[in-house]
Amino acid sequence: MALATQLLPEFRIQRDDDRCIRCKVCVRQCGFDVHSYDERRDCIVTDESKCAGCQRCAVLCPTSALTVMQNPYSYAPSSNWNRERITDLKRQAESGGVLLTGCGNDKGHRIYWDHLVLNASQVTNPSIDPLREPMELRTFLGKKPDRLQIRDGEPVDLSPQVTVETPLVFSALSFGAISHNAQLSLARAAREAGTLFNSGEGGLPRNLRRFEKNAIVQCASGRFGVEPEYLRRSAMVEIKIGQGAKPGIGGHLPGEKVSKRISAARKIPAGTDALSPAPQHDIYSIEDLRTLIYALKEATNYEKPVSVKIAAVNNAPAIASGIVRAGADVVAIDGLRGGTGAAPKVIRDNVGMPIELALAAVDSRLRDEGIRHECSIMAAGGFRCSADVVKAIALGADAVYIGTAALIAMGCTLCQKCYTGICNCGICTTDPYLSKRINPDVGSRRLVSLLDGWSLEIKEMLGGMGINALESLRGNREVLRGVSLSQWEMDVLGIRGAGQ
């Protein structure tokens, strides 16, 4: 017997009938079937219980007849039992399952970027005008040598390096979690901007392998799509052990999203769930990790840097040290605000730590052990603007991964329904009709504009600090000061308070 719902709609939709011309744009645009046309009454019928609040119907309504707002209902006031807790309990009482969600952690944890301020040059160290002086944003990802040996005018015995023209790299967004058109937009933008995109753990479709010079390919616990050509057609190989949105658990792509195209890329039967085991069964020790790292180096003829991606957790510094000593060229750290296509809500909201603290702790540990030069550090997990990026580099990052920001640039509104396979923006879906809403030409142009804008702002901030190269900022925590932070927080970050 089906249980009657006790849930109120999360959003309220108001339609101005005087403005509505029955054009049915809202009906066609909503993949959640919120709107339907009643021919007998010649009116649009709305089912508010299905609304995700993505605003697409309101934005595209030609007469601005629609208003979508959060339903203002509330239960009896309680500091412990707020609306979200009560709603989640009711949903679980009706479903009996794990509550899923998409996107990143939306809880009110302290955002440390907002409590860090940057220094500026004045008289003794004059600022630099980036419009008239050269500013170097080029970044080299990979292991650096202890000493540089020159033979016949050329360096020798260098580990493989990947060069990016900006410290902004597109994060792991797998084919299946996002649409082909969205992934194609990322690939095109990466090539045009001189940076990288990450295939995620879903394999790399063959028609995207032409972007190999700008592709990071992942080898995750499910090994989806992993084969020799996949590894060779890349600029870097990344071993994914964990991710910020769901540390300690595996991945899950529902069978409804595994179309024939997805099955070909992931090398699994169409219509079956793509399950990544929680542990990597290749890795139960640092020695196992070293074996896998060198197996991938061997498979790529020692021509590609190998990265290892971990979630930001309490022992991340010790883990990172082991990763570097195991032979990895890059360590990628993903903080608790990292996005996801699907994760248990309780994991996303309660496991992990902010990237700011993890990044600072890892950089300090590697410097203390004298092995910081043996790897590059990439930081991920909720970068919102160029100022966040500059502060991350000052804390020790070589480059940052941006994922959610890239999706927003393409049109995402963070409705958090990615796990349903329905995305009115055409991004997190494999539905052919919905996927067409992302035009790769338009998507890539918007992404390139985002990277260009952030890069220009980074140059402005560098110039304001009297720095003309990103290399001079990396790990330079003297340019940072904390505001409204406790002493233990500043100790972990390795900075002083404003005015000190």
Please give the CATH topology (third level) of the domain spanning 11-73.
Answer: Alpha-Beta Plaits (3.30.70)
Give the residue from 165, 197, 110 showing the smallest Cα distance to 458: 165
Residue 23's contacts (CB-CB under 8 Å, 6 or more residues apart) are 62, 63
Residues 299-303: contacts with CB under 8 Å, at least 24 apart: 299/228, 299/231, 299/232, 300/231, 300/232, 300/234, 300/237, 301/232, 302/160, 303/160
Are 323 and 310 in contact, with CB atoms under 8 Å apart? yes
Element at 130 (helix H, strand E): none
As a whole number of angstroms, the distance between CA 47 and CA 38 comes to 13
As a whole number of angstroms, the distance between CA 257 and CA 102 comes to 15
- Find out if CATH 3.20.20.70 is the number for domain 115-497: yes
Residue 298's contacts (CB-CB under 8 Å, 6 or more residues apart) are none
Per-residue pLDDT tens, the chain, 500 aa: give them: 567 899 999 999 999 999 999 999 999 999 999 999 999 999 999 999 999 999 999 999 999 999 999 999 999 999 999 999 999 999 999 999 999 999 999 999 999 999 999 999 998 889 999 989 999 999 999 999 887 778 787 767 678 999 999 999 999 999 989 999 999 999 999 999 999 999 999 889 889 999 999 999 999 988 888 899 999 999 999 999 999 999 999 887 877 778 888 888 787 888 888 888 888 888 999 999 999 999 999 999 999 999 999 999 999 999 999 999 999 999 999 999 999 988 999 999 999 999 999 999 999 999 999 999 999 999 999 999 999 999 999 999 999 999 999 999 999 999 999 989 899 999 999 899 999 999 999 999 999 999 999 999 999 999 999 999 999 999 999 999 999 999 999 999 999 999 99
As a whole number of angstroms, the distance between CA 255 and CA 266 comes to 12
Please report how the helices 386-394 and 355-368 are oriented relative to each other, as an axis angle in degrees rounded to 10.
Answer: 30
Are 405 and 237 in contact, with CB atoms under 8 Å apart? no
Residue 31's contacts (CB-CB under 8 Å, 6 or more residues apart) are 422, 423, 424, 429, 431, 434
Distances (CA, A) of 478 to 366, 489, 500: 18, 16, 11
Q: Whole-model pTM?
A: 0.94
Are 251 and 203 in contact, with CB atoms under 8 Å apart? no
Residue 158's contacts (CB-CB under 8 Å, 6 or more residues apart) are 145
Phi-psi region of 96 (alpha: psi -120 to 50; beta: other; left: phi over 0): left
As a whole number of angstroms, the distance between CA 383 and CA 104 comes to 11
As a whole number of angstroms, the distance between CA 311 and CA 242 comes to 5
For tokens 């505001």, the residue is 483
Are 170 and 186 in contact, with CB atoms under 8 Å apart? yes
Element at 218 (helix H, strand E): strand 215-219
The domain limits of the chain are 11-73, 115-497
Element at 216 (helix H, strand E): strand 215-219
Phi-psi region of 378 (alpha: psi -120 to 50; beta: other; left: phi over 0): beta
Give the residue from 84, 68, 64 showing the smallest Cα distance to 345: 84
As a whole number of angstroms, the distance between CA 18 and CA 35 comes to 17
| Tokens, residue 85 | 């807790």
Are 51 and 13 in contact, with CB atoms under 8 Å apart? yes
Q: Which residues are 70's β-sheet partners?
A: 11
Q: Do you know the residue count of the chain?
A: 500
Residue 428's Cβ-count burial label (10 Å; 0-12, 13-18, 19+) is buried
End-to-end CA distance of the chain: 66
Task: Indicate the pairing of strand 399-402 with strand 376-380.
Answer: parallel
